[in-house]
Structure 1
Amino acid sequence: MIVRRKGGLTEFIPTPQEKRDGLIRDHALGLMENLHQRLARLERTSKLPAAEAEAFTALLARMRADESRNLELNASLITSDTASG
């Protein structure tokens, strides 16, 4: 994080690495889901067993639920900080 101070104002600027990490974090789950759907379609077409695809579908659902909880928690922490600040 780059910190720039001007007068009484402090500005926090993310570094390029932090921007990349945030972009990856924000889109990784969607990319994995897209890849999973494509592979599952290939597996169905090839008549391969669906057990592993179903297990990964359950894992993706759990990851989505965890991510939703994390976003809600983060939002509640932000609103509680602004309310008390």
Structure 2
Amino acid sequence: MLPQLTNISSEIEREGARLRLDLSIVLSPLKRYWRAFQERRQSPRVDLRDLNDRDLMDIGLTRGEIDYITPEHAVRAIRDRAADLWSRGGM
């Protein structure tokens, strides 16, 4: 019986080694992508107001449109719509 146990354990070790190899193939690119993501998150952000008019034109914006695409404007618009619904008795 002991020889069978050693055969089984060696098969398990081989299977485990194969699985570790397969797992490292998957995890290696994920680790690289995660590191790149973290580095990108820590890099300084560019504010649209810091761009010159030429750069804004390249991305299809004018200086006057900056305030209309900011998150603050979106929140203000939602709040105004909700207030309008409340004033009309819609909610």
TM-score normalised by L of structure 1: 0.35
Structure with more of its chain in helix, by fraction: 2
Larger Rg: 2
Structure with greater contact order relative to length (CA < 8 Å, sep ≥ 6): 1
